[in-house]
Structure formats: structure tokens, C-alpha cells
Chains A and B, each alone.
Chain A
Amino acid sequence: MEFAELIKTPRVDGVVLHRPFMPTVEGTLCLTGHHLILSSRQDNTEELWLLHANIDSIEKRFVGSLGTIIVKCKDLRVIQLDIPGMEECLNIASSIEALSTLDSVSLMYPFFYRPLFEVIEDGWQLFVPEEAFKDLESMTDEWRLSEVNKDFSVCPSYPSLLTVPKDIDDESLCKAASFRHGGRFPVLSYYHKKNGMVMMRAAQPLTGTNGRRCKEDEKLINATLCAGKRGYIIDTRTIAVAQQAKARGGGFEQEANYPQWRRIHKAIERSNVLQEGLIKLVEACNDQSHSMDRWLSKLEASNWQSNVKEILTTACLAAQCIDREGASVLVHGTEGTDSTLQVTSLAQIILDPACRTIRGFEALIEREWLQAGHPFQQRCAQSAYSNGKPRSEAPVFLLFLDCVWQILRQFPCSFQFNENFLIMLFEHAYASQFGTFLGNSVAERLKLLLSQKTVSLWSWVNRPQELERFLNPLYEPNNLVIWPSVAPQSLLLWEGVFLRWNRSTKCLDEAYQEMVHIIEYNKELQNKVNSLRRQLAQLETEDGPLQTP
């Protein structure tokens, strides 16, 4: 087996583990193909099981023959291992490095993981496009499910089934695809039941410098407009960036060719800039010696909060066009796989109460991220501690989760899930025993046979035992559109992720428990009162005939 070659020293005794907010543990360090394990072999000491895939980078230090390895994880945790013996330490370090940077996806842990629970509801079968289309069909008959991409040749990053306007045939779709970056022609993202307006997404049009146009593309998006109505094209890039894209064959929709559409440019950063921001932010959060001035200026310099604000504002704008202006919207940036998806998915959370339930949110991630072709594997290959040159890593999904958290914080009663659910998704997007976030597209996932060879995250999460941790006790279903504040003072640093390992959360956890306690007590009382009411009612009906007027 290949892993054995990479593991130079499988076990070392007398290793001391330092973790934030936990007592140090001395024990035996073992390396397996997928885990770093530290066990003290004492009954009541917690062991450490760390997925190699969760390791972002490591540092080695030596004092005499005592070596220290600092392990920096993708979930932003930093742990320290003191290893006696220089050779052992070097061996362990190089093994970890090799095992945490395996190139082949099929060697990843999800292919080896066997669940210890019975899969009752297979997450792989939970969210199929056909089902979503049935829902749509019940509301409107203006759309159809096209199989034009069934062999992924029209657009490699799209799924095989796509929802498109009924009047547009597959041939036109192919032509429109050839006019859009990566073949990502405009497809339906969301149907707003209240007024029949829609949100579509695509990649940039390939107008190039000489202003190429494509009749089929124009016809395709015009088919989504009601007679006499105008729509909005939300380009997630600034006009300057969109202009520059022309030189590389890209571009944006010219007014002359799309007279029924008004184009709005926003300024969501490109992914490599976002990655730099993440690195700077985490660096600032991890330095506890900062003075107030330095902390605030580093927070500002990371631009993280600015990115959150810009993404959220753009999503609100899209939602506003649909709900308030009664207009249909097309969203795109360059590739249509990053900022576009942030905007379309957040807009749905604002508009559609179903997306604020656990199942609905899972479905949203399936639809707008996994099936829509967000390249998870590339984006989440490295996190904030990567010291190599960034390739295509970017915290696009983490920013989306951060924005959801901001809305959740502003509407604490409108979501069925709590913050822990979002943090769990962040962790699993970066390193997981489940196959859900492997691969970069539906096509890649099919090729990897993920649904046969790995377990879906949803199969695990949706078990009642697990779900309990993720339920928001304050949830009261709310059918309204929720408009978040995007004022800087309303947007906070997501401490649950960024300060998670820097300060004890004991008091905050206690507050959460107290909240749960108050609500559970209330439910218990309600049950008691209801059952007494029934008893009383029964007794009194029995007595009824005897009662004197």
C-alpha cells in the first residue's frame, strides 16, 4: 500500500501535545495513512485524531535533541507537538508533509472511510435536479429541463440537466454556450413565486475587443422577460475589470445588443485577492499582542470585512431588483463559478424562507454550489496558513458562509440552523471523511464514482442525533423576505471561526445552554398545559349532560 512508503516512522512515544484551552497531553504519536493520532492510553484523556487533509502547513523547530512541530490546520487551529529525538521529529514532519499534500483524489480519506452508523437516508440521492424541477413546474410552465449537457460537452462545469426557458431549443443553447466563458450559458437559478420574476446566472459573454454578439444568447435571456419589462444584469466586477476582460476575449453585454437590460457593476474581489485577505486576517487574529490601533488597522488592511459587505450588498441588490422592482436578474462575473454563486445563493436566502431551513440550505448548497460547478477542490486545497504560492485557492465558500452568519445574526429567529451548522460546513469543505465536497464539478464527481465509493455529508448530518447540535432553538418559521443591514457597523467579525482558537468560549457556550434551557422549559410547560387541557375537556364533556344550566 502506497501510504506505508510515506510513513517513515509510524509511532513515537513520549510526545507532548499542546492545544488551545486544553491541558497538555503526553502520549504516543501514531501516523496512519489518513490520520495523525495522539493517544495517552489513559482512560479519560481525550485523544487527538487529526485528518492529514486538515493540515495546512507545518513548522519545525529544534532545541537540542527535542524537536517541535507546529501543525497549522485548515480549520485555523494551531497545535504543537514536542517530539523527543531529532530523527523521529524529522521523519514525522516529512511524513505529515507528504501525507497532507497527496495529489490523487482517490487516495483521500473519504474513499477509505466506512461509516459507523447506518445510512438511512442516502445524501447522494437527496437533492436531484428532477425533484427541484417538479417544484418549479407546479408554479410555472415557462421552463423546461434540458439534457443538452448530458455528456458534459457543452459545458464541463455544468450538471447534465439544466433549467432553461421553454422556447429556447438545445441548438440555440449550444450557440449561446459558445458565446459564454467556459460554456456557462444563462440558466435558471431561482424562481420568485411571489411575482414570477427569476434570477439567472451565467459566465461573462465572450465579446472580446471587437464587440462580438450572439443572437441566441440575446434571445435566451430576453425569453425570461415579460412583455414590456426590463431586467437587470448584475456584473460582479467593476466596469474597469470588465473592460480589461475584453482583451482576453471576455467582456460584458453591450447596451445596444441588450436594450431591455440595465447593467449594474459591483466590486466583488477576484479569488486570489480574497485568499490574501484571509491570510492577513488570520495573522491579525492570531497575534494577541497587538495594540488596539494595530489590530484595527490590520483588520482593515485584510479587507475581509469589506469583502463581506460588498458580497452581501450585491446579493441584496439582486434580491431588491426581483422582489421590489419586479424585474428579472442575470448575475455573472468572469467564470461564473465564484462571486456569481455567492450572490445568487445569498439572494435566495434573503428571498426564500425555504432556504433558511436545514434541508433547504442543504439543497441550496447542492444546487448553487456543488451542481453549479464551484471548484471546491481547487478553492479549498489550502487555507490561511498556506505558505506555498497560491494556485487557485480562495475562501469563496467561507465568505459565503460568513455572509450567511451575518444575516443569521441579524435575524436570529428566522433560521432553522445555528452558527455551528455553518462552522461544520466550513470544516467539511476543507477536510472531511465525506465525499460531498470532493471534485470540482458534477462531471468530475461522476467520474470519481463518489456516490458509490464515499458517504455523503448529508447522510451523516441529517441523522436526528447529529442534527440536534445544529438546530436553532429560537427558530420561528417566517415567510417574509429578510433585508439585512449592510452598514459597516452592522457587520461583525465572525468570531466563531476567526477567534475560535484564540479565546475560551466557555461563557458564550453557557449563555447558549441557558437559552436552550429557557426554551425547552417553555416547551415542556406547553406540553403539560396542553395535556391537562385535554384531560379537563374530556372530564367536562363526560360531565356535560349532567351539568345544570
Chain B
Amino acid sequence: MEHIRTPKVENVHMIDRLTPRKSTVGTLYLSSTHTIFVENSEARKETWVLHSLVYNVERFPTNPSGSPLIIRCKNFHVYRLLIPQERDCLDVLASLTRLSRPECYGELFCFSFNPNLDKELREKAWGFIDLKAEFNRMGIPSNLWHVTAANHEYRASICRSSQPLSGFSARSSDDEQMLQAIMKSNPISEFMYVVDTRPKLNAMANRAAGKGYENEDHYTNIKLQFIGIENIHVMRNSQQKLIDVGELAAPSMSDFLWGLENSGWLKHIKAVLDAGVFIAKAVAEDGVSVLVHCSDGWDRTAQACSVASVLLDPYYRTIKGLMVLIEKDWVSFGHKFSHRYAHLDGDPKEVSPVMDQFLECVWQLMQQFPCAFEFNERFLIQLHTHIYSCQYGNFIGNCQKERRDLRLQERTHSLWPHLWENRAEYTNPLYRTDHSQTQGVLKPLTTAYCFKFWKGMYGRAEKSVASHQSPADCLNAVREESQQLEEELSAHQERLAQLKEKKTSGGRKKTNKLSERVRRPIPTESKLSSPLDYFTTTRSEKHTPSFTLPLELAAPPKNGDPDDLSTCSDFESGVADLSSRSSFFFFFFFTCNSEKI
């Protein structure tokens, strides 16, 4: 609490840059864990922003209407505030800057987050994902080796490691023998692949530092394959450029496409997916074992192996399966979560969107195989948020040992049971366990035109640029209704049988009133209500489901954004509602400033 210089500021404007008339006035509160904005409107709508999700806070010069402050979040939400007094703005800035950069693990939200579970439930929750059970599921230990379900006819396997310390000439006979053993464990192939996920040039450069890659002359029967995934620094810069594209004020189509190309982001996503496809193909089609490594073995290697696993094994395309995969390939294999996702104030060079890229690969696959995944886009976005949020203990620390030392299982809660309980929200209506797409290996196309900009993830900088109302949400509503109908049907059938029986036996019994016909909630297409100002070459128009924290999400946008129910009533109002002149002014103000950035 000592970091909070001012706990409450009144008459703060929350600016909507694209539709200024949707800007609101309210009170800003700072708690030890959240920034909370409460609208003055009757609805008193609250927006909660977790401090640990704040990526940065930026202040702009004070102008006659107040001091503007922008809060950017690690899940790509952006909040634009206008604070009446400069002094308050400075206080908020200083407080948030400090609060969003915890210096030690003890300050993280997960250690104070208490969802009112008793001790027993909490412990049980931590046992929700059990890796031993997972290895059993994969059929390990078997006589020969561990085997994934997808390639049971073969005996090929995927192994992972870090780079060998070969330098220019060093060799290790133990390492050579171990690879030989892996190779031999697969009786049907006479060689194995060693996949180095780095660009060859980077791998060669590593040799000067006494590291590098396997010398094919020293290892018998290996084939070395470089894949060319760039390092964490390149990825960090690339994502930043992508985020900038999302934040452009009124970009033209050319600005957008050029920005997308210039960021290189989709190129990198393609490289990760290509790596996964190569490995999956080697294992499933050629029956060849694969050893995967990069430099350290916890970033690119984890990406490549987990993408390959998703392609190979339908289990990892289920809700529980993806949790298991993350627990296995990322958490237990020592992915440096706290470094990569900047949980603590630390070296910015350690930060990189490694998991973001894995999740995006899965999303890209969902575009090609709409029936293959049990979960939906919302599930991936939720996972992404929690990898950064520090609300649950699952992703705290940089390796298993650190996690044990922090006694996370005793002191924090696990995310997995929470997601599992709410799985109805995360279910893909098109998924059916007996569908052909849920069987066997996925063989995606990785031609450049197959990759899309992930609007649901990166198009959230503006509150009003939104994802569309999706067919999936309509279908979920239909399925829900079908379920109710099924129940009603069997109730009616029972009643009918009863009546008929009574009739023949002459008995009489008062009946309950029949339930009203179940009515499918007609999906409101929320954009209906408010046009943009198409006069200026503006762009976009509608609300994202506002993912306010804490992450007991605001109602899932089944019926469109709840916000928009209110805007339906202003359906008759004029276009650019200029009644609040000041907000129109802010709109210009922010537009000008962000262009300077």
C-alpha cells in the first residue's frame, strides 16, 4: 500500500478514441492489486485492470482539459484516461509505474489472490493436471521408449535437449551413444533427425562460444536439419511492431498491410508452424525419431515440440489436453515464464513472446481445421492473459526448482480447475469426438496466404475495434437450446405416457403447467447500433467483450457485448454525438498524440 500515492481520483474520463461519444466519466481507484474505474453512469460499470497486467503507463503533456494518461496492458488492451489535475495524474503515474513492476515474487498478485477455497480444495486443485498420468497415457514406459498416441504403429519419438557444447571440434562419446540409443529405440528407421530450430547462421556463430550443433561425422546415422526460427530478441521487436500496427490511428489498408509485413510477425509464426510440421511429418509419415534443440532448449524447442504434439495427437486438441501439454512441454521443462513474461521488474532483454507464438500457431491451425479443436479462440486468449497476469501460481518462476522453493502449491491457486469449471465458455460448438478432423494427424498448409492477422488478440487496442459476432457464438446458443429441448422432450414424453396410462386406468391427476417454449436468445449483432463516423476516414466501430479483471470474466459475449445493449437505446441518436464537446476534443487530442509516438 505504501506505493499508492493517491487512492482515488474523481471526474476521470475514459476515452474511446474511435467513437468519442462512447467516452465515459467516472472515478478512478487504486488498490494494491488493481486499478478500478467506476463509471458515474447509473449502471456504475466497473473496469478492473490488474497491476501485473500493465505493460507500461505513459503520460502526455497537460492540456486545458486535463492530463492524459495511457495504460497499455500485456494482453494488448489499452486504456486512455484524462485526469483533471496534473498533480493527480503524476501521482497515478508514479503509483502505477511502481505497482506494475513488482520487485520480488512476494509482491505478485497470486500470493494475495484468494478465491475462498479451503485448503483441501486448493490442494486437490493443484493435482488437477497430473503429468505421471500423462506419461502413462502416452504409453511410457514401454519396452522401447515413450510413444505418442498418434504414431503407435511406428516407434518413432520426439526428444528435446539444448545445443551441444561442440564448439569447433569438441565431441562427447556419451552424447553420441545416447543419440545412438534413441535412434535404435525406433526399430523401423535407420537414421534419426536432429532438428536445430535456429537459423544455420546463428548456430554456426554459437560454435565460437564453444557451443553449436552436432557434427554429422561424429554421430552415426543422424541427419541435421536447420529450421530457422529467429531468437527471442528478434521476436520481441517483431511483436512490438505488430502491436504498433494495431494502435495506428485510422490506418489505410496500405498502412496496415505494410505494417504487417514490416513487423515480420506472420513470417515468424510460419517458421514455428513449419518446424512443427517438419517434426510431425518425420514422426508420423516417415517413422523417424527426432531430437529437437535450439540454444537453451526452453524456447524454440518448446514451441516446435508442442506444435508438433498438437498436430500429431488429437488429445492435445482438447481442453484438458492443451492444459497437459502446457504443463508438460512448458512448465515442467523449465520454460522461463517469469523472465519471458516480465512478471518482475528485470532485464527487458529476457522478455519475449514465446508462448504468444505457440498459442497463435494453435489459433492459425484452428482457422484451417475448424472442427478439430475442442476449445475456442476465447480459451487461447484467456490462457494468454493468465500467462501474464500472475493471478494464479501456475506460471510463476523460471523452472521447477524455483517453483518448489516458492511453495507455490501451498501459497497460490491453480488456474486449471478454474478454466475447467468454466469450460462451457471455452467450447468449440463444431467439435465432435467422432469427427474425422478430430482423428489422426493434422496436415496444415503453410503457404503464406494461409496465415491471418489474429484480430481477436491484436485488434484490442481500441475498446471499440471489436471481434465480430461469431457464428460459433450463435451455434453455442443453438446447442444450448437443443439441450433444453431434449430435456423438455423427454419430460413431455413421460407426461404423455402417464396421461395415456391414466386415461386407460381412469385415474386423474392435476398437471403442471407446460413450460413456455424455449426461445433461443437471438444473437444481437452489436454493431447494428452505432455507426462510426465514416466522414473522416475512420476505421472501426464496435465493442470488444470487455475483459475486465479480475478474471472472473464479464459475461461471455454470447449475446454480443452487454455494453451494446445500452447503445441500442441510443439507436435513434445522431452520428457523431457531439453533445459532449469536450470528449470530441479529446478524441482529436489523442489522435494527434499517438501519431507522434
Q: Is the CB of A410 within 8 A of B527?
A: yes
Q: Is the CB of A489 within 8 A of B459?
A: yes
State whether the Cβ of A42 lies closer than 8 Å to any Cβ in chain B: no
State whether the Cβ of A309 lies closer than 8 Å to any Cβ in chain B: yes
Contact A320:B575 (CB < 8 A) given known A291-B267, A412-B470, A484-B527? yes
State whether the Cβ of B360 lies closer than 8 Å to any Cβ in chain A: no
State whether the Cβ of B41 lies closer than 8 Å to any Cβ in chain A: no
Q: Is the CB of A486 within 8 A of B539?
A: yes
Closest A residue, CB atoms, query B248:
A488
**Complexed CA–CA distance, A305 and B368 (Å):** 22
B69-111 residues with Cβ-Cβ distance < 8 A to A are: none
Residue-wise, chain B 481-504 has the 8 Å CB interface mask toward A (1 for contact) of 110011011001101100110010
Distance between B320 CB and nearest chain A CB, rounded to angstroms: 22
Q: Is the CB of A483 within 8 A of B530?
A: yes
Q: Is the CB of B449 within 8 A of A525?
A: no
Q: Is the CB of A411 within 8 A of B370?
A: no
Q: Is the CB of B256 within 8 A of A488?
A: yes
Contact A519:B527 (CB < 8 A) given known A285-B449, A485-B539? no
Distance between A298 CB and nearest chain B CB, rounded to angstroms: 9
**Complexed CA–CA distance, A484 and B465 (Å):** 11
What residues of chain B lie closer than 8 Å to A514, measured between beta carbons? 370-371, 430, 432, 435
**Complexed CA–CA distance, A385 and B523 (Å):** 42
Closest A residue, CB atoms, query B462:
A487
Contact A511:B370 (CB < 8 A) given known A485-B465, A489-B465, A525-B482? yes
What residues of chain A lie closer than 8 Å to B485, measured between beta carbons? 522, 525-526, 528-529
What residues of chain A lie closer than 8 Å to B471, measured between beta carbons? 412-413, 474, 515
- The A interface is mostly helix, strand or loop, or mixed, namely helix
Q: Is the CB of A507 within 8 A of B449?
A: no
Distance between A137 CB and nearest chain B CB, rounded to angstroms: 27
**Complexed CA–CA distance, A220 and B454 (Å):** 49
Distance between A146 CB and nearest chain B CB, rounded to angstroms: 32
**Residue B435 contacts which of A325, A410, A510 (CB distance < 8 angstroms)?**
A510
State whether the Cβ of A317 lies closer than 8 Å to any Cβ in chain B: yes
Q: Is the CB of B510 within 8 A of A547?
A: yes
State whether the Cβ of A536 lies closer than 8 Å to any Cβ in chain B: yes
What residues of chain B lie closer than 8 Å to A536, measured between beta carbons? 492, 495-496, 499, 514
11 A-B residue pairs with CB within 8 Å: A292-B261, A300-B257, A303-B253, A316-B532, A325-B575, A474-B474, A485-B527, A485-B542, A489-B540, A536-B514, A543-B503
Which of A292, A295, A325, A522 neighbours the largest number of chain B CB atoms within 10 Å of its CB?
Answer: A292
**Complexed CA–CA distance, A486 and B527 (Å):** 12
Q: Is the CB of B370 within 8 A of A478?
A: no
**Complexed CA–CA distance, A306 and B574 (Å):** 28
Residue-wise, chain A 521-548 has the 8 Å CB interface mask toward B (1 for contact) of 1100110111011011101100100111
Segment with Cβ contacts to B, from A81-89, A222-230, A491-499: A491-499
Chain A contact residues, CB within 8 Å of chain B: 264, 285, 288, 290-297, 299-300, 303, 305-306, 308-309, 313, 316-317, 319-320, 323-325, 409-414, 474, 476, 478, 480-493, 499, 502-503, 507-508, 510-511, 514-515, 518-519, 521-522, 525-526, 528-530, 532-533, 535-537, 539-540, 543, 546-548
Q: Is the CB of A482 within 8 A of B525?
A: yes
**Complexed CA–CA distance, A490 and B456 (Å):** 10
Q: Is the CB of A480 within 8 A of B528?
A: yes
B232-255 residues with Cβ-Cβ distance < 8 A to A are: 246, 251-255
Which of B255, B485, B503, B508 neighbours the largest number of chain A CB atoms within 10 Å of its CB?
Answer: B485
B57-73 residues with Cβ-Cβ distance < 8 A to A are: none
* Other A-B pairs beyond A482-B525, A514-B371, 12, CB < 8 Å: A292-B266, A299-B449, A313-B534, A411-B468, A413-B523, A483-B541, A510-B370, A511-B371, A522-B482, A525-B486, A528-B489, A533-B514
State whether the Cβ of B585 lies closer than 8 Å to any Cβ in chain A: no
**Residue A508 contacts which of B370, B451, B482, B535 (CB distance < 8 angstroms)?**
B370
**Complexed CA–CA distance, A278 and B531 (Å):** 30
**Residue B437 contacts which of A510, A537, A543 (CB distance < 8 angstroms)?**
A510
**Complexed CA–CA distance, A290 and B448 (Å):** 7
State whether the Cβ of B429 lies closer than 8 Å to any Cβ in chain A: yes
**Complexed CA–CA distance, A424 and B165 (Å):** 61
Distance between A302 CB and nearest chain B CB, rounded to angstroms: 10
**Residue B368 contacts which of A413, A489, A507 (CB distance < 8 angstroms)?**
A507
Q: Is the CB of B528 within 8 A of A317?
A: no
What residues of chain A lie closer than 8 Å to B535, measured between beta carbons? 264, 317, 320
State whether the Cβ of B479 lies closer than 8 Å to any Cβ in chain A: yes
Q: Is the CB of A503 within 8 A of B253?
A: no
State whether the Cβ of B522 lies closer than 8 Å to any Cβ in chain A: yes
Contact A522:B481 (CB < 8 A) given known A489-B246, A540-B511? yes
**Complexed CA–CA distance, A358 and B471 (Å):** 20
Q: Is the CB of A320 within 8 A of B534?
A: yes
**Residue A292 contacts which of B270, B455, B474, B492 (CB distance < 8 angstroms)?**
B270
